[in-house]
Amino acid sequence: MILAPRKQGEPTVVVGLMSGTSLDGIDAAIVRIHGSGLTASAELLHYYSRSYEPEFRRRLQELCGTEHSSSAAVCSMNAYLGYRFGEAVLEAIADAGMRIEDVDLVSSHGQTIWHLPVAEPDDPYSTPSTLQIGDISVIAKLTGLPVVGDFRPADMAVGGQGAPFAPYGDLILFRHHERGRLLQNVGGIGNCTALPAGAGPSEVLAFDTGPGNMVIDAVVHALSEGRLSYDEGGKWAAQGKPDQALLDEMMSHAYFRTPPPKSTGRELFGQPYAASFLKAASARGLSDEDIVATATAFTAASIADSYERYVFPRVAIAEVIVTGGGAHNRTLLHMLSERLPGQKVMTSAELGWNDDAKEAVIFALLGNDFVHGVPNNLPAATGALRPTVMGKLALP
């Protein structure tokens, strides 16, 4: 074990940090973990969220593309975001009524600004790679706590795609002995985890389904002229009607016909994609309401299509459990239920978990396994050649 516990057999208290592809803010989950690996148990002690201000979100979005980014901007934001993460840790601990001394470890996902799971075929120097920023040394020095982070490169170093990681935590938190379950996280990108009844690690099927909130958010931001960053509760989409012809065109994207393991991000479904969708929608004369409804239907259709192609032929599923920001979009949930008449669609809140906290909880589990020296990737999900210990450590 890399860091000794206070007393042998005592649980580890970890602050898990998550800032996802939605670029909407920092989620911090304070988690008490007993044990390690796939037999660990986790208790959410406190959940804290800190939203990004619009200008900061815009600056992050620029870093996630090539047009407005630069080495200098990435370098500076790496350190600056470390301070933001560290402040969120301190605020979360105070908000929980706890002390720094009550916490053993911080585990940070960082902020993904580029993810390249497959090398560019025409560039001999291109290598599968990924980049998450938010310097863990800054977090450690600011909080006075050891920090684990930069998980994804280790999986890629053993042949994996460095994503998705949620399936590892899904297996620990949600597997059921009698019922097959599908965990669908809807953040910026959608990712699913299929857990057969009584699943073991080699039986898990997991992959990115495509866009989650990413296209919806970009469309809402553009149509509202920057006043809104997301469609709260799916209210705007509920007022419109999806355009089936445009939806069929969107669903023809090659990503959806690529079999797992696979992962994606802003590189495929970011701002340029949303802009092309808006252009096509405007050319068809769609109202704003119909445009948002079509973008929302795109997420629902891409999820359901992924299940029909790759999950249902292999795994018997009884429940679809939605987490992440999309779990609050009632229109999206309704559309998904309509496309999945044979399954019960629910949110993790119905099972006693905070819908927004799951990914931060999972990164707390990953950090806990790192300090125990336990392999914390899931090759069945990422395509890695073998299990490996992911993460790097920064000391205070």
Instruction: Specify binding-site residues for ATP.
Output: 20-27
Does residue 226 sit in helix, strand or coil? coil
The CA-atom distances, in angstroms, between 183 and each of 25, 259, 295 are 22, 18, 22
Query: The tokens 């990164």 sit on which residue?
Result: 363
By C-alpha distance, which of 355, 221, 236 is closest to 294? Answer: 236
**What is the Cα 33 distance to its own chain's centre?**
21
**What is the Cα 41 distance to its own chain's centre?**
21
- Strand 41-51 and strand 25-34: the pairing is antiparallel
51, β-bridge pairs: 25
By C-alpha distance, which of 112, 132, 238, 183 is closest to 381? Answer: 183
- Which contiguous run of DSSP H or E holds residue 218? helix 214-223
12, β-bridge pairs: 33
Binding-site residue numbers are 20-27
Contacts of 173 (CB under 8 A, 6+ apart): 42, 353, 358, 361, 362
CB atoms within 10 A of CB 257: 10
By C-alpha distance, which of 39, 26, 24, 49 is closest to 365? Answer: 39
* Lookup: tokens for 245: 């012809």
Report the 3 state secondary structure along 200-247: CHHHCEEEEEEECCHHHHHHHHHHCCCCCCCCHHHHHHHCCCCCHHHH
Query: The tokens 């200098």 sit on which residue?
Result: 72
Side chain identity, residue 90: L
Sign of CA dihedral 155, 160, 216, 219: positive
